[in-house]
Amino acid sequence: QVQLVESGGGLVQAGGSLRLSCAASGHTFRWYAGGWFRQAPGKEREFVAGVNWNGGSTQYTNPVKGRFTISRDNAKSTVYLQMNSLRPEDTAIYYCAAAVGLGNPPNHFNDYDYWGQGTQVTVSS
């Protein structure tokens, strides 16, 4: 079992930055891929970014490429999402997730095994 707790959300103006953190506890987190998803009101949960077990492989959804960076620190059992140049359309609840496995990070929510409770990100125009 892995428990995930997100932090770092909040209200920011368009063009600003936030860094989300996802702290893991329980089973050895280094053997899991980490991912970030988001869900806006009335929309489905969508993949944002993923990182493999050692940080050597990452992937992003197209709308955030060049603006968001996912990383991890296995010594701290934490995955980060640095979000720059935020836009109002980035407003959503952001969820951290963990997937068992050592391959490339998956990009579909069905492939993730554990989830955090989410943190709200609101970008004002």
pLDDT score at 101: 86
Instruction: Kindly tell me if the per-residue pLDDT of 96 is higher than 80.
Output: yes
pLDDT (tens digit, 9 = 90+) per residue, 5-37? 999 999 999 999 999 999 999 878 888 999 999
Mean pLDDT of 82-107: 95
pLDDT score at 123: 98
Mean pLDDT of 67-89: 97
Mean pLDDT of 77-103: 96
* More confident site: 71 or 30: 71
CB environment 65-78: b (16+ within 10 A), e (fewer): eeebbbebebeebb
Mean pLDDT of 74-101: 96
What are the respective helix, strand and coil percentages of the chain, to the nearest 5? Answer: 10, 50, 40
Those residues whose C-beta lies under 8 Å from the C-beta of residue 34, and which sit 6 or more positions away, are 22, 50, 51, 70, 72, 79, 96, 97, 98, 99, 105
pLDDT (tens digit, 9 = 90+) per residue, 32-70? 999 999 999 999 999 999 999 999 999 999 999 999 999
pLDDT band at 94 (very low <50, low <70, confident <90, very high): very high
Which tokens sit at 42? 């009335």
